Amino acid sequence: MPPGSPDLMIACSVMHKLSACRHTAAIVLCCLFALLIEVEEAVCLNSPAEYMQSAVEEMMAILQDDQLKLPENSQYRRKLILTVIRHHFDFKEMSKLTLGPHWKRITATDQEQFVELFSQLIETAYVNKIEAYSDERIIFLKESVRQNKSLVPTLIKHNQLDIPISYKLYMARDRWRIYDVVIEGVSLVQNYRSQFNSIIMKEHYAGLVKRLDEKLKNPAEGH
């Protein structure tokens, strides 16, 4: 597969495949930190839905801070946004799921490197979208909880469109963390897993790492 192949696994291309016509890539993370929140039913203390509302409040405190909007504070503002993202999304778990059986075939050092690459890939693709949020509304529907895992379905109101996005969470050390996002019925993790596996089968794990490195060095490509 040549470096310029449209099959190159990059965050932008994946999300465009999921829902290009609706600009879903711009909403995947933004929707979690939307301007207005509506809850279909009251949520109990420490429920997954309440946890996500707390995440919204954290991000909105950053996005709406007038001092942080000043140009000289842009880097610090971005750092705060990334801190919130990394706190609520479990990139290690997402990395394990996207690599599937290949995860156990690489060394602990390679695993650590991949988690960092994967998290940077997601963050690079979406942090600008979060900073440029508009007045999307996120409606939290009734969550489902089974043992230590939960599914929190939401409905995003965006430019007169209703976009269903669900979040998969699991309980880790007494708090909920997000490990997958399902957009219009399509799993973000499963899409990465399919394309990562395709690259690894053709170019081995080293080929995947090379492609991710190249993408991070040239983030404008594919946008």
Q: Where exactly are the structural domains of the chain?
A: 11-213
Of the two residues 60 and 78, the one the predictor is more confident about is: 78
* pLDDT above 90: residue 70: yes
Average pLDDT, the chain: 80
Nearest alpha carbon to residue 32 among 57, 6, 3: 57
Highest mean pLDDT among 20-29, 44-53, 125-134, 169-178: 169-178
Give the Cα separation of 90 and 169 in Å (integer). 9
Residue 131 bridge partners (DSSP) = none
pLDDT of residue 177: 94
CATH architecture of 11-213: Roll (3.10)
Give the Cα separation of 171 and 149 in Å (integer). 6
